[in-house]
Each structure stands twice: as C-alpha cells, then as structure tokens.
Structure 1
Amino acid sequence: MLITALAEMTRARLRVLREQSPVRTAADAFADQRVGLIIVADEGEAARGVISKSDLVRHLAGNGRVDAPLVEVMTRHVVFAAPSDDLHATWQLMVRRQLQNLPLIDAGRRPVGVLDVRDALEAILMQEERQEDQLINYIAGTGYR
C-alpha cells in the first residue's frame, strides 16, 4: 500500500506557513486537533523545515517572542516522505525515529500532506485484516471477496 491511499487524511493534517510568519500563527494553527506538525515553506512554496508543538513550547518556555519569524524556530533537518512511498516502510521509519508526524512532499519539494503515525498504523492493520479475511475465505472454499 502506498501513502497516497491516505491522501484525504494527510491533506486534512497539512498546514503550511511561510518562513517569515510569526510564531503566533503556528500557535493558532496548532489549535486544530488534526494538526501535529506545521511545514515551513519559502516564497517559492518549497519545504524548508517544520515546526512541531515541542519546538513551539521550547521557544516560548525560553522567553521566545510570539512575533519572532518561524525561520528562527523551525527544525531544518527533517525527514520527508513522498506520497508514492510504501506506507509500511514509512511507518517503520517513523517508529524507529520516534516520529509522530512526517511531512509529505512532491518532486518539487512542495508540501502535499502530513502523515500521522496513528493513521499509518490503522491503515496497515486494516489491510492485514482484509488479507486475513481473504485467506480464510480461500481456505473455506468461498473464494475471494
């Protein structure tokens, strides 16, 4: 299964802000429960980094300004995935690196979604259940459904 199978969910979690946007706008975006990660893009819409809730809290706890630009707060070294990547392999990467969310980008480094580790696991488990049902039906002689 490819990540693109979860396109509706990954697009719903996508929030993109510009590098010069103030930290306040990131805080506002995190008010949406679906948002766990914000992708920071340059003027050309290419992904340059991310802001997590932890990044935001660290900044504010260190007496950071709410009007500081996101470029001063964002994480620059980011693991990205593409919608055409294998979901199971990507989920394993997320687990290994302890990532809750993973930004998805297209070939031009433009943000197209955010994969949540729980959504990935749920999709993988559903796929496994379908395969198990098919195997049971095959063994029972009722065929595939």
Structure 2
Amino acid sequence: MLIEGLLQAASEQLVTIRDDAKLIEAAKLLSAHTDLVVVCDGDGILRGVVTKTDVVRQISTCQGATCMCPVATVMTCDVALCRGADQLKVVSELMKQRHLKNIPAVDADNRPIGVLTARIILRSLLGDAEYEETQMIDFVKGIGYR
C-alpha cells in the first residue's frame, strides 16, 4: 500500500507555523492536542518540526527574551519525511527505526500535505490484515471461488 491512500487522514493532522513565529505560538498549537508542528518558510516549504520536547527543552533554559525566540532556533531540522508514492511498510519501518510517532508527508516541492501518525498507519496495516484474513476464510470455505 502507498502513502497516498492515507493522505486524506494525514491532512487532518497537519498543523503548520512559519519559521519566524515566536516559540510561544508553537507551544499554544502543541497544547491543542497535536504532537507535531511543521515549520515552514514564507514560501510554504518545510524547514523543520517542533515538538513538545523542543519547547520544554528551550523553556527550561530560557531567561528573559530567549523565551520569546523564533521557532527556527529550536526546531528540529533533520526531519524524516515521506511522499505519496512511498510504500507504507517502508515508512512504518523508518518511523520504528527513528522512534517517531509522527512523520510529515510532503509534495514534490517539499510543501507539507499531511502528518502521518503511528495510529493512522496502524489502523491501515490492521485493516489490510483483516481483509487478508477474510479473503483466506472465504478461500477455505470455497466462497467466490467456484
């Protein structure tokens, strides 16, 4: 299965912020039930991501004006990405190897189009397994194979 089949669900998870926005704005987005905020430049190109861990790390060491720093100073720049043509199992394995709960999906120009969550991927993989199980049961019973 390709990632493109999950992009509708992934698009509902996408939360973005500009790289020149204040960190406190990202913190507000993260407190509204999202685990990952995708950071984009003025042209909408993905430049990084911010997580709750990034915010807590910065807040724990900030003093005065550094608490109001731009998102770009604390974002993670080395971002694992996926595209619509990627295989779901390959992306799932990448997430497992890098211990990720979320992974941004981007278009050909590196503009974010969604965020795949481990939950979305798991539901899809379980759905495939249930379908295969149903097919196997029908085969054994001879249903639809005469």
Length-normalised TM-score, structure 2? 0.92
- The separation in 1 between residues aligned to 2:59 and 2:84, in whole angstroms, is 33
Structure 1 contact 13–36 (Cα < 8 Å) conserved: no
Q: How does 1:65-76 map to 2 (within 5 A)?
A: 65-76=66-77
Aligned-partner SS, 1:40 = strand
1:95 is displaced (CA, Å) by 0.7
Which residue of 1 is the match for residue 48 of structure 2?
A: 49
1:135 is displaced (CA, Å) by 1.3
1:32 is displaced (CA, Å) by 2.4
Alignment gaps of 5+ in structure 1? none
Does residue 114 of the first structure (1) align with residue 115 of the second (2)? yes
Aligned-partner SS, 1:94 = helix
How many percent of aligned residue pairs carry the same amino acid?
A: 34
Which letter maps to 1:105? V
Aligned-partner SS, 1:51 = strand
1:63 is displaced (CA, Å) by 2.0
- The separation in 2 between residues aligned to 1:100 and 1:40, in whole angstroms, is 17
Which residue of 1 is the match for residue 14 of structure 2?
A: 14
1:14 is displaced (CA, Å) by 0.4
Q: How does 1:1-145 map to 2 (within 5 A)?
A: 1-33=1-33, 35-63=34-62, 65-143=66-144
Structure 1 contact 17–40 (Cα < 8 Å) conserved: yes
Aligned-partner SS, 1:125 = helix
The alignment's C-alpha RMSD in Å is 1.4
- The separation in 2 between residues aligned to 1:23 and 1:31, in whole angstroms, is 12
Structure with max Cα Rg? 2
Alignment gaps of 5+ in structure 2? none
Which letter maps to 2:87? D
1:5 is displaced (CA, Å) by 1.6
Length-normalised TM-score, structure 1? 0.92
